[in-house]
Amino acid sequence: MRAYHLMSEHWALEALKLRRLKLSLLEDMNDPFELLGITLKKPSDRHVFRKLKTEMNRTIGVLCFSRSWSNPVLWSHYGDRHYGVCLGFDIPDEWAKEVTYHGNRLESALEQKLSHNSQESLGYTLITTKYEHWRYEDEVRMIVRLEDAQYVDDHYFIQFCDGLKLREVITGPRCKLSQKQLLKVVAHEDRNVTTIKGRLAFSSFKVVQKKNTQNA
């Protein structure tokens, strides 16, 4: 599937040059309700959850994508107020875990769930359950074991590869990067990507493609 990752211009240029994306660690993500998609009414459930969360924070990282780049709120929140860049990737469908959105936390007896499901299965459910007001993100997540990632300067990275294949580079409506500047940093392996200049739509609340975009 095609999936989109927005970031500031600075970090996008670094990602293009080094051909890698930084993993988000669960404890550092911007939603404090990460992993808290289920109720924890019983002290025993809260105890089990703390142990599970600690283990997941220690072993799991996440790459967050949207299935579309047209939502202006995404650009405001993740694309540096429309000054940033969006990278479009092809990733295997089985690696793209769809986020589901709920108005209320799911009722659950955590200990009972663990007795009927593996810790890994429950972990995937927790990682992909979010409050319904995040629905605008239309998010899919790639969940990566930290042992499989590259560790550099206190951060974990995943290199571009067949499972994370760069296909598009979209510059935000306020981004001043030229195609020539992009060409200077795009790695040789990615020279066939499509470059797109985003603009504000004339008749809707969307970010759309400026027509004179050319391929890199």
Give 54-72 pLDDT, tens digit per residue. Answer: 999 999 999 999 999 999 9
In this structure, is residue 58 part of a structural domain? Answer: yes
Exposed/middle/buried for residue 123 (C-beta within 10 Å: 0-12, 13-18, 19+): buried
Asked whether residue 215 is assigned to any structural domain, the reply reads: no
Q: In the predicted model, what is the mean pLDDT of the chain?
A: 91
Cα 95 from Cα 2, distance rounded (Å)? 12
Instruction: Judge whether 197 lies within some domain.
Output: yes
Query: Domain tally for the chain?
Result: 1
Distance CA 85, CA 198 (A): 9
Residue 40 placed within a domain: yes
Domain that holds residue 64: 2-209
Rounded Cα gap, residues 74 and 210, in angstroms = 18
The answer to whether 51 touches 123, Cβ cutoff 8 Å, is no
Contact 75/207 with Cβ under 8 angstroms? Answer: yes
**pLDDT tens digits for 108-155?**
656 555 555 555 677 888 899 999 999 999 999 999 999 999 999 999
Query: Is the residue at 34 inside a domain?
Result: yes
Asked if the structure places residue 9 within a domain, the reply is yes
Q: How confident is the model at residue 24 (pLDDT cuts 50, 70, 90)?
A: very high
